[in-house]
Amino acid sequence: MTRPTIWSSKAPLILASNSAIRSDLLKQAGFEFSIQTPKIDERKIESDFLVKSKEPRDLAKTLAHAKAEAISDKAPEAWIIGADQILELEGQIFHKAKTRQEVEKNLEYFAGKTHHLHSAVAILKGNSITKIFVETAALKMRILTKDDIKIYCDLAGDMIFESVGSYQYEGLGRHLFESVEGREDVIYGLPLDPIIKFFRSAECLKF
């Protein structure tokens, strides 16, 4: 079955991300696009940024812009969507865990607390910033025992290494939370409403 498209611009649209959930969100909203993975040194960009600022929302925007810019350099005729997400808890920024031990340590620290996911999007065309924004969701993780965390990690498998919080909220990760404030697309790392609003104003959509 052919998926209907809402995209009407003659300029192509490129998603500068290899995230399956971000791609699915755009597809479900009717966008027609290709995917290119930006090759940037995120930790170097973050390190340089943190010398000047400790604001995680601005870091998310900086990384989203860097991803979009890396693709826009190669495809200046296209619309580029770059996206990034920062997990912040008590002023500390967390990245994807590399080991099971690190996952368990992080989840023990998150348990019973509220952390924030800052999801940023940068839209570029012709390598100039057209739109950049960030939205935040607050997630309170329920109290977890060591056994709870062990069982979760066993069930989730290698998925625990695929996201900054070691959970995929659209799957087993939802069972970790007591309450959530914010839209699911923000939690998934691609705030759709402002993306749709922007492209409609830029006359890139059919209606």
pTM of model > 0.85: yes
- Does the residue 134 lie in any domain? yes
Specify the residue for token string 């909220």.
Answer: 169
Active-site residue list: 84
Supply angle C-alpha 38, 174, 137, rounded to 5. 60
Question: What pLDDT, on the 0 to 100 scale, is given for residue 88?
Answer: 98
- Does the residue 146 lie in any domain? yes
- Does the residue 7 lie in any domain? no
Query: Which domain covers residue 182, as residue numbers?
Result: 13-201
- Does the residue 207 lie in any domain? no
Question: What is the full per-residue pLDDT of the chain (207 aa) written as tens digits?
Answer: 577 899 999 999 999 999 999 999 999 999 999 999 999 999 999 999 998 998 999 999 999 999 999 999 999 999 999 999 999 999 999 999 999 999 999 999 999 999 999 999 999 999 787 899 999 999 999 999 999 999 999 999 999 999 999 998 999 999 999 999 999 999 999 999 999 999 999 999 999
What is the number of domains present in the chain?
Answer: 1
Phi, psi for residue 169 in degrees, rounded to 5: -60, -25
Report d(CA 1, CA 8) in Å as an integer: 20
Q: What is the CATH number of the domain that holds 31?
A: 3.90.950.10
Question: What pLDDT, on the 0 to 100 scale, is given for residue 127?
Answer: 76
- Does the residue 1 lie in any domain? no
Alpha helix (H) residue ranges in the chain = 20-28, 42-52, 56-72, 100-110, 146-156, 184-187, 192-201
Question: What pLDDT, on the 0 to 100 scale, is given for residue 130?
Answer: 86
- Does the residue 98 lie in any domain? yes
Alpha helix (H) residue ranges in 111-183 = 146-156
- Does the residue 52 lie in any domain? yes
The CA dihedral of 18, 121, 15, 191, to the nearest 10 degrees, is 80
- Does the residue 4 lie in any domain? no
Q: Which neighbouring-strand residues pair with 81?
A: 15, 123
